[in-house]
Amino acid sequence: PRAGQLLTLLIDYEAGEGPGVCWLSPEQTAGKQKPYMYTQGQAVLNRSFFPCFDTPSVKFTYSATVKVPEGFTAVMSATSWEKQKDNTFVFKMSQPIPSYLIALVVGDIVSADVGPRSRVWAEPCLIEAAKKEYDGVIEEFLVVGEKLFGPYVWGRYDILFMPPSFPFGGMENPCLTFVTPCLLAGDRSLVDVIIHEISHSWFGNLVTNATWGEFWLNEGFTMYAQRRISTEVYGLPYTCLEAATGRALLRQHMDATGEDHPLNKLRVVIEPGFCLFLGINPDDTYNETPYEKGYCFVSYLAHLVGNQRKFDAFLQAYVNRFKFQSITADDTLGFFLEYFPELKEKGVDSIPGFEFDRWLNTPGWPPYLPDLSPGQQLMRPADELAELWAADGLNMEAIEAVDITGWRTYQLVYFLDQVLQKSPLPEGNVKRLSKMYPKISKAQNAELRLRWCQIVLENNLEAEYSKVKDFLHSQGKQKYTLPLYRAMWGGSEATRALAMEIFSATAPQLHINVQNYVKKILGLGGAE
């Protein structure tokens, strides 16, 4: 062939038990009747699904023809799909994307429209709940996102509710976000998780980190975008409260690993065999740094500009300049200084203590923290209430004077985090608390259930151990499952026995990586 001539290369291959393709038995699904398969490409797993340049620095369009057995449906992260005869589905993605965003699901799934360009997909037993929870809300978020960051280029924005064993909160596959069924709280209280995945439509999917060592370019900008949309939709106080829970997670992570751990830099040097960060196993230290420290750096850039409207305009120009490309932090920061020449002239990239280089290459706590004080009006009452419940003699009059019926999820989460920090509480207090707030102790909301279970374990409230059991039987999300096994294993003989009992009953329904992490926690010699 001559230089510049197009080649068609045909590769015949088989994909088996690789880590990127997950085969679920019927008991790992919600319906428990039929098997299910899905792929998870991020970060470098799609090489076990199809031959590709498995790096985020290369983008391409794709098409696929998928033949499935009768009674099953296939969906992919594609701009168009059609069903042909013989249960064959044809998909096309017309925009260039990196390999990690190609995703396929085959299962007993159905769909329902929830907006002009959105539908929900789920197993038949979940579709009503999914439609009720998301009807009308997705479009609102998309419209605000477009107003802030420019046109939504992917055509449709559909959401697929995965089986309960899906180990992540969400995966931003273009046109078709995969999410945990834990988001079906029944009261729309967790829809803000969707705002994060929607924000990836601009940051991550349209403008992409060229290497996984600069993952913060995907996640830090997405956290910033998510909180911008949330501020427009829910207001500043609520968004600051959500950001405060994020900051607390970053603090916990840095305390656990040590601030100067090499993972706690924004620019991570990925050594060969350095798999921890890459999510080759979606790692149990679940690294908050690219998300929350990245968010702080983007907030610092906004602070340098000093005007929200101007910074919003910069973000829109940034997306427009680098759309469909893969870039490095040098590209991002170079464009920032080019866009604001007056800041470049002032040398804002080298202000002592806040040097861009220090942000990128020095591990540890962010040099700058955005002001979250507007959240104080929601945090203060929660702090005061937690104080009351931690007291030796309960002042029931003061407690009953606080009305929590109007508190939204993150305010309740913040309250429970404070109670957990003060645990174990004096004898009998948690029992009273449980009785007083069925909204919390009987919640269906996974974020509340996680924290209530942690409080039950920390306070040895044996009467409610069944709630821990029920929660771990109902879902297998890594971020909810591992902390509870750690709490049980770090507790009494009784909680250790509980851990063993729950694990032996639920192991088959967990994702293989999560099974291995739990084995490690329980000293059962899981994979290192």
Residue 202 domain flag:
no
The predicted model gives 135-159 an average pLDDT of: 97
Q: In the prediction, which pLDDT does 286 show?
A: 54
User: Residue 427, annotated ligand binder?
Assistant: no
The parent domain of residue 504 ranges over 460-527
Does 93 count as an annotated binding residue?
no
Only one residue has tokens 């924004």, namely 266
Helix (H) or strand (E) holding 47: none
Instruction: Give the pLDDT band of residue 274 (cuts 50, 70, 90).
Output: very low
Same structural domain for residues 298 and 342? yes
Average pLDDT across the chain, whole number: 93
What distances in angstroms separate CA 235 from CA 166, 297, 376, 390, 525, one per listed residue?
Answer: 31, 22, 13, 31, 48
* Residue 89 annotated as lining a ligand binding site: no
- Identify the residue with better confidence: 263 or 123: 123
* pLDDT over 60 (residue 281): no
- Calculate mean pLDDT across residues 308-336: 98
Q: Are residues 171 and 312 in the same domain?
A: no
Residue 171 has pLDDT above 90, yes or no: yes
For residues 25 and 172, state if they share a domain: yes
Determine whether the annotation assigns residue 340 to a binding site: no
Q: Which residues pair with 76 in a beta bridge?
A: 104
What is the predicted pLDDT for the residue at 18?
75
Each residue of 346-370: pLDDT tens digit?
Answer: 999 999 999 999 999 999 999 999 9
* 185: in domain: no
pLDDT value at 501 more than 80: yes
CA distance 453 to 517: 19
What the block records as the tokens of 451 is 């924290």
pLDDT interval class at 343 (50, 70, 90): very high
Catalytic residue among 38, 62, 133, 197: 197
Task: List, in order, residues 6 or more apart from 462 with CB less than 8 Å away.
Answer: 494
**pLDDT higher than threshold 50 for residue 254:** yes
Whether the predicted pLDDT of 42 surpasses 70: yes
Q: Give which of 132, 129, 135, 100 is closest to 114, Cα–Cα.
A: 135
d(CA 389, CA 405): 17
Residue 421 annotated as part of some ligand binding site: no
Q: Percentage of the chain surpassing pLDDT 90?
A: 82
Count of the separate structural domains present in the chain: 4
Answer for the pair 122, 161: CB distance below 8 angstroms, yes or no. yes
- Quick: pLDDT tens for 400-444: 999 999 998 889 999 999 999 999 999 999 999 999 999 999 998
- pLDDT of 527 strictly over 50: no
C-beta atoms surrounding 147 within 10 Å: 12
Q: Which of 134, 157, 224, 291 is flagged as catalytic?
A: 291
pLDDT given for residue 114 in this prediction: 97
Any known ligand binding at 478? yes
Packing angle, helices 236-257 and 216-234, rounded to 10: 150
Q: Concatenate the DSSP letters of all residues of 475-496 into one string.
A: ---HHHHHHHHHHHHTS-HHHH
60 is in an annotated binding site: no
* pLDDT for the residue 278: 45
Do 356 and 211 lie in a common domain?
Answer: yes
**Are residues 404 and 355 both part of a single domain?**
no
In the residue annotation, 291 being an active-site residue is answered as: yes
- Tell whether 217 and 164 lie within a shared domain: no
- In this predicted structure, what is the pLDDT of residue 272? 53
* 299 and 211 part of one domain: yes
Please indicate if the annotation marks 509 as binding a ligand. no
Residue 1 lies in a domain: no
Mark whether 406 and 471 lie in a shared domain: no
Task: Tell whether 197 is covered by a domain.
Answer: no
- Does the annotation list 303 as a binding residue? no
| CATH at residue 45 | 3.30.2010.30
Both 489 and 401 in one domain: the answer is no
